[in-house]
Structure 1
Amino acid sequence: MATAGRCLGGAVLAAGLWLAPAASAQPAAGAGGQALASEGFPPEYAAVRAAWRPSDVRVLAADGQELQRLRTDFSARRGDWLPLAEVSAALQRAVVMSEDRRFYAHDGIDWLASASAAWASVWNPGARRGASTLSMQLAALLDPALRRGPGGRGILQKLDQMQAARALEARWSKSEILEAYLNLAAWRGELVGVDALSRVLFQKHASGLTLREAALAAVLLRGPNAPVPTLVQRGCALLQALGRPDECQGLRDFTQAALSRTREVRFDAPALAPHWARVLWDAGLADGHGEIRSTVDRGLQEATVRAVRRRLSELHGTGVTDAAVVVLDNRSGAVLAYVGSSGVLSEAADVDHARALRQAGSTLKPFLYGLALDQRRLTAGSLLDDSPVGLDGGGGLYVPDNYDHRFGGWVSARTALASSLNVPAVRTLMLVGTDAFASRLVELGLPLTQGGDYYGYSLALGSADVTLLSLSNAYRALARGGDYAPVNLRAQPGAPAQAGTRAYSPGAAWIVGDMLADRPARARTFGLDSPLTTRFWTAVKTGTSRDMRDNWCVGWSVDYTVGVWVGNSAGASMRHVSGVSGAGPIWHDVFDWLYRNHAPAPPHRPAEVEARAVAFGDGLEPARTEYFLGDTAQARFSPPDARADPGRPRIAEPVDGTVVALDPDIPQGRQRLRLRAVDAGGRVVVDARWFLDGRPYDAGGEPDWAPEPGAHVFELRDAQGVALDRARVIVQAGRFVAGEAGPGASAGPKGGNHPVPQGQH
């Protein structure tokens, strides 16, 4: 092209003409930001259009509808390629009037405009008047060699541009040239292409641009970074040329308002799954057309987003600002819905809480009981002692407590799991072993970074950090009969069932699900009517982390697994919100939507599971049908201590070996330690005879004690003075605030000072 240009240049120079560089916009890079090579110019129109790439990838739902756009290219902000039919006629007219009035009459070079520019430069050498046609500008957009440098275009480059424009006109139609120009041109700041311009600057589709908007857009082409007064002056002149001088009124305010939106979000772009879009992009799932096809159900995603916002609005004032939800297809491992935050309600909307590490709380208990069932250490009917226990935690005594600070005595494993009792879970972990349990959790894909000894017995109550996505998928293993398979990010709609690895026997997984679906079994903690109750079969478990920082609700049906986390981005404690009141309602709403038109059947009981009628001694629990693995079936369960010595009381609180550290910020007289004696069945003994350091202690109707520094021994004695049980307590002194409660001062709440680590349900 350079040789031809120089030949043409000789003829033009001989005529004494000087062509000033056009004062048009700085050209953007070629299609999609990629420069097109000069060889073989001009390229085919179809090739230019096919090479166009928006700066966003489009994430599509299972039905092909757009779910989300994710910005992945920050060199420029480009929208979709728009056909000319989708561009306002007003904009087409304004651009042609402003940039190339004889566009439809010339063959790529406007000789009249060129001559006029050259004539003007002869009489006014300081004036530089542009004569570039739309075809010449498009040629520069397509060929990097034709782009204007910092000092403008030299005469040879200009002549090359003219020849390229004529070649372009010979192969492209006028409509194709105008369409390509509008889609490739830079408008303002980082905005490239008419789609980005209209959806960002004017917050509408390009087909709806008015004449005033079109005039402002057209003069932006001439000076993308021109100041407002210049744009107003040029815009008004263009409106007058278009026969609408009345549109000049208020043009300054209109221009300032439009330019203030250069960094606004794209108009009318769906924003249903921003965090899921990032997950898929990070996994490298974008195709060559800037699209990512996913298995997310758009209707379910919309319903889940609505449920999150509605339920969090109901929790206003409780410290809850955020939530995350994951819905998985049990068979294929496909993600059907993914909400990473509450959006506008969130304090950190960009944080993906579905992949953030949070303390698991009681949501790990089903995996523990499933392991105990497989090891034949427990059955669903086995009795566990729900009474205080003190364990050596290495750095001190570990004393687990229940969520409601009450103990139930002997309870079945079914009741213990369904009602999320903490002490029985710790006793179960003592049977299974911390290392074995931690290894099983890792096999289920949970991101534990330490061995069982690191977490100790608190692992039974969820002291490990997990993510909602990994936790939900671990529950999916139970829903699949104990068969674990990872989340399938590459699944397509209608994907077949995943092949997995065996984590639990089908029988153990089924029994765990049956326990978690048992409404009467969870009534002790949750009641018979709660958000955990559905009109169809579901197995569900809640969890609340220490200090009420996180709460969870995860459960499954035969088809789906749904996991919900509720909390806040800063990790601050919530007020009076547990898994059943925070995450539970969202979980219920999602399952209601999934089965809005039908009800699923319960899962089929595996052949290895035996059903047998059972009864419980001392009327501990009602008779029922219970389920067993292998040869573990039995017809009656009785507490061993009740058979041996049914009347012998013992000290339930304080636990022997308790160490109490007095709080220096609370008056000593207001700090209390609860005293509680129970019989072998776990029932409170109200007439217990208490002794403190060998002397009778009148505990009163609601026994407690104001701790005094030093070592102390509590005893229970019978009527003959024989010691039945004793508990040693060490009270560590502290420096106390002024104004300690003196004689006669109120003792404050009973049991207000408990040095007890707590897992939550």
Structure 2
Amino acid sequence: MSRRRAVLTATIALLMGATGFVVWSISPVLSDKKPTATTKILARDGSLLYEVSLPEEGDRTNVPLSQVPIRLQQAVIATEDARFRRHRGVDVAALGRAFRDLATRGRITGGASTIEQQLVKNLYFRTKRRTVVQKMRELVAASYWSFTHTKDDTLERYLNTVPLGGQAYGVAAAARTYFRKDIGDVTLPEAALLAGIISSPGSAEPYAHGAVAEKARSHALDRMVAEGFISNGDADDARANVVTVFAPRHPIKAPHFVFQVLNELEGAIPGIRDGGYEVRTTLDPDLQRTAEDVISSRLETLKDQNAGNAALVAADARSGDVLAYVGSADYFNDDIQGRVDMVQAKRQPGSALKPFLYIAALMNGWTAASVIPDLPVRFETQDGNGYYPKNYSHTYSGPVSIRDALGSSLNIPAVRVLHDLGLVPFFDTLRRFGLTFPEAPDYYGLSIVLGGGEVTLRDATQAYARLAAGARGISLRDVTEVKNAEGKIIFRAALTRPSPVYDDESSVQAAWIVSDILKDRLARSRSFGEANLLDVGKRVAVKTGTTRDFHDNWAFGYTPDFALGVWVGNADGRPMQGVSGITGAVPIWHDVMMLRLADVQEVTWPEAAGLVRKDVCVTSGLLANGTCPKTRVERFIAGTEPSRPDDWYKIFRVDAASGRLADESCPSRVVERTYLVPPPEYSAWFAATRYERPPDTDCSGRTTGQRDGQVMILSPLDGDRFEVSDRMAALNQSIPFIAGGSATAYRWRLNGQALESDEPTYLWTPSPGEYTLQLEGADRQVRFTVK
């Protein structure tokens, strides 16, 4: 008797539990309760950036099933629930696959949801996490729905409520949003597109993600063929039809930023778009408006040079807060592909990575005073071809300090330093500053420092923010706080002091030295002059970048508490016409930085602890000893400071009358004069600059040394190979012929044709062929090839 009672009790308990579960599952369907609040995206001051519309309040038009084209109905059924007309809300076969996935993979991977299940989930369970229990609730609710509604009623409700991206809910709203037409006019290619994006309305939204949407459309057509709704020929004809998609329009501020925030939050809060949340972001609305206005006005001056777009990121270098985020000049402008977020797009950075090379170099023994040859050079590559870096100006500066090389963004010294340092240390530094690349360092080679890889504006601006913070691991952030529908804070960004990117304290010192160089107006005067838009009247570090063929240009600048990055170009990759960083991105950077610092009296830069100060000769980088005419106080990481006095400038005793070296036969007064005697590798270059060399003959007529004025060809080098491109302007591909040694005129012969120049550099416009180059007075000729 007791056993029978126990069985009866257990049975009653199970029935009550099952009944309770069923009631719990269908209660949302019975109550039909809808969320009462939208998700709001707010700026840092609480002002509204965007209100994410609910399905009930978004762009939705209810239409009877009879008005929905049969091809669209078929496309949806074939794609989402092929056995829709044959089951009662639950597809047992598909459900079996789901349980098999659960048993073998530990999770339900999808593919089992019927139209009824999707409908009840979209209407009543949008914010629920995807668990086994929740899946069972949806199964029960879907079965209940199926028993209380006809198939046509179900399909009509589904087609009127299904989210299709772009704030369009239902097929009628989607047809109007994307095709600008009534639902009854939707064609088979358009129907397949709408059906295809149902499973991923965000990532397959057809205007922003056209390639993904096209794959989804093709899949929908395949499913329609498989279900016998259309023939293979119909599907092929539909694929050949190009569907014109229009951009959705909704009241929104900082649209690229808003959608980036929503995309970032969706992983942690799946129902963020469905209503009930308040998101407080880091965006400064005043700075955002300033950035947008400046971009608009500055691009207007560049439109004749085929520069149609720009992007900008501004961040607090102490917290990482994104203060301004402009993904394009106009989100709704189809002509510039305004929906493409150029803050997140990968593009070549030009010279913008050079500061991070020199941080690595300073940590490995180089100094700001180290002298690097800015002379023609060829590096052999793994494929056997020579790599021949050139400066943007097609000129050479001979010996230059790292300070001047970085400040003036000289290419050849940077490539020389990278060659000697090695690719691995440089890529490690880039990684620590947040810049990563998909391939191994050898894939990119030495050209990486001149823009041979791709980065995003966001990542590059973050790297400069880390530099501004003294080589600390600042990470950009968009959101400070999220509240749920009850007003409870479910996320709050932590305020923590970031750790250094290296354990070695020398990284902080190297970052300070690089920042000191980037704010040194004199150091950049060689390339940019002393009066330019890089100067904002305060001590601000700044670096530009320009790709070789004018596809992209950049400007990055920072103070200890603010970082600003700007990109100018075209989203489709079309080259601009002669627009460099200094003429494209820098004016935008300048105007925004000026407005940002308008109320700042002075920008202070606390010096990194432990640096050593030494007075050095600018020309040689060695210790000043009273002979060198141009010196400066330089900072060094302890242990890297020079210990040898300058020996490039030497004192000679000279006969005042004749200018010859003094000896016992000199008839006149003997004086002491200081002359530059550079190392042999620079002698020919200095001779070409017509600098005053020491006399090589004494008063008795004896020659005391070899004159260094011998004319010679410095560039090109023998065996050089060059390539020209039809896609680039000829002027941008000029090959410089560089002479060393002193001459009143430099007379070249190229394959026998005479060329003459008063200066040691002659710019030649190349054409394919084999060439022999001679220089009058030189004792050798060089051969090179142009392909």
| 2:365 matches 1:365 | no
Q: Deviations over 1:142-189 (max 9, x none)?
A: x97999868999xxxxxxxxxxxxxxxxxxxxxxxxxxxxxxxx9995
In 2, distance between residues paired with 1:662 and 1:151? 65
Q: Which amino acid aligns with 2:772?
A: H
> 1:417–1:515: 8 Å Cα contact kept in structure 2?
yes
CA shift, 1:448, in A, is 1.0
* Of 639-648 and 391-400, the range deviating more from structure 2: 639-648
In 1, distance between residues paired with 2:355 and 2:550? 20
| 2:264 matches 1:277 | no
Q: Deviations over 1:566-613 (max 9, x none)?
A: 111110111121111111122122222322322353221112222232
Q: Which amino acid aligns with 2:326?
A: V
1:410 is matched with: 399
> 1:691–1:697: 8 Å Cα contact kept in structure 2?
yes
Judged with a 3 Å threshold, the aligned counterparts in structure 2 of structure 1 residues 305 and 453 are, in CA distance, closer, same or farther, namely same
Q: Which amino acid aligns with 2:263?
A: W
- The secondary structure found in structure 2 opposite 1:317 is helix
2:609 is matched with: 607
2:675 is matched with: none
Judged with a 3 Å threshold, the aligned counterparts in structure 2 of structure 1 residues 624 and 646 are, in CA distance, closer, same or farther, namely farther
* Of 316-325 and 463-472, the range deviating more from structure 2: 316-325
Judged with a 3 Å threshold, the aligned counterparts in structure 2 of structure 1 residues 150 and 535 are, in CA distance, closer, same or farther, namely same
In 1, distance between residues paired with 2:392 and 2:763? 20
Select which of 306, 309, 313 maps to 2:296.
309
Q: How many residues are matched?
A: 513
- The secondary structure found in structure 1 opposite 2:443 is helix
| 2:311 matches 1:331 | no
Quote the RMSD (CA, aligned, Å). 4.2
In 2, distance between residues paired with 1:494 and 1:277? 19
1:78 is matched with: 58
> 1:59–1:277: 8 Å Cα contact kept in structure 2?
no
> 1:69–1:274: 8 Å Cα contact kept in structure 2?
no
Alignment of 1:344-743 (within 5 A): 344=332, 347-376=336-365, 378-395=366-383, 396-491=385-480, 496-503=495-502, 505-617=507-619, 622-634=630-642, 636=646, 638=648, 639-641=678-680, 646-660=708-722, 674-679=736-741, 685-687=743-745, 699=756, 701=758, 709-710=769-770, 712=772, 714=774, 717=777, 723=779, 726=780, 728-731=782-785
Judged with a 3 Å threshold, the aligned counterparts in structure 2 of structure 1 residues 672 and 370 are, in CA distance, closer, same or farther, namely closer
> 2:628–2:646: 8 Å Cα contact kept in structure 1?
no
- The secondary structure found in structure 1 opposite 2:721 is strand
Judged with a 3 Å threshold, the aligned counterparts in structure 2 of structure 1 residues 151 and 699 are, in CA distance, closer, same or farther, namely closer
CA shift, 1:280, in A, is 3.9
Q: Deviations over 1:462-482 (max 9, x none)?
A: 211000111111112211111
Select which of 290, 295, 299 maps to 2:282.
295
> 1:321–1:347: 8 Å Cα contact kept in structure 2?
yes
- The secondary structure found in structure 2 opposite 1:548 is coil
In 1, distance between residues paired with 2:341 and 2:727? 38
Q: Deviations over 1:197-253 (max 9, x none)?
A: xxxxxxxxxxxxxxxxxxxxxxxxxxxxxxxxxxxxxxxxxxxxxxxxxxxxxxxxx
> 1:478–1:513: 8 Å Cα contact kept in structure 2?
yes
1:104 is matched with: none
Q: Deviations over 1:406-445 (max 9, x none)?
A: 1122221111111111111111112211222123212322
- The secondary structure found in structure 2 opposite 1:652 is strand
Q: Which amino acid aligns with 2:354?
A: K
Structure of higher CA gyration radius: 1
Structure 1 unaligned blocks of 5 or more? 1-34, 81-142, 154-185, 197-261, 733-754, 756-761
- The secondary structure found in structure 2 opposite 1:296 is coil
TM-score, normalised relative to structure 2: 0.58
- The secondary structure found in structure 1 opposite 2:549 is helix
1:16 is matched with: none
TM-score, normalised relative to structure 1: 0.60
Q: Deviations over 1:57-91 (max 9, x none)?
A: 432111221113456x7x665389xxxxxxxxxxx
Q: Which amino acid aligns with 2:585?
A: A
In 1, distance between residues paired with 2:735 and 2:553? 29
In 2, distance between residues paired with 1:525 and 1:263? 43
- The secondary structure found in structure 2 opposite 1:552 is strand
Structure 2 unaligned blocks of 5 or more? 1-22, 61-143, 155-168, 178-245, 482-491, 621-626, 649-677, 684-705
Judged with a 3 Å threshold, the aligned counterparts in structure 2 of structure 1 residues 38 and 456 are, in CA distance, closer, same or farther, namely closer
Judged with a 3 Å threshold, the aligned counterparts in structure 2 of structure 1 residues 281 and 608 are, in CA distance, closer, same or farther, namely same
In 2, distance between residues paired with 1:295 and 1:583? 24
Judged with a 3 Å threshold, the aligned counterparts in structure 2 of structure 1 residues 711 and 353 are, in CA distance, closer, same or farther, namely closer
* Of 486-495 and 401-410, the range deviating more from structure 2: 486-495
> 2:750–2:774: 8 Å Cα contact kept in structure 1?
yes
Q: Which amino acid aligns with 1:730?
A: F
- The secondary structure found in structure 2 opposite 1:351 is coil
Judged with a 3 Å threshold, the aligned counterparts in structure 2 of structure 1 residues 578 and 707 are, in CA distance, closer, same or farther, namely closer
In 1, distance between residues paired with 2:773 and 2:426? 36
In 2, distance between residues paired with 1:464 and 1:687? 41
In 2, distance between residues paired with 1:697 and 1:477? 54
Q: Deviations over 1:728-750 (max 9, x none)?
A: 32346xxxxxxxxxxxxxxxxxx
Identical positions, percent: 32
- The secondary structure found in structure 1 opposite 2:304 is coil
CA shift, 1:304, in A, is 1.3
Q: Deviations over 1:326-371 (max 9, x none)?
A: 1121122221111111115561111111111100100010001111
Q: Which amino acid aligns with 1:78?
A: G
Q: Deviations over 1:87-136 (max 9, x none)?
A: xxxxxxxxxxxxxxxxxxxxxxxxxxxxxxxxxxxxxxxxxxxxxxxxxx
- The secondary structure found in structure 1 opposite 2:555 is strand
Judged with a 3 Å threshold, the aligned counterparts in structure 2 of structure 1 residues 632 and 439 are, in CA distance, closer, same or farther, namely closer
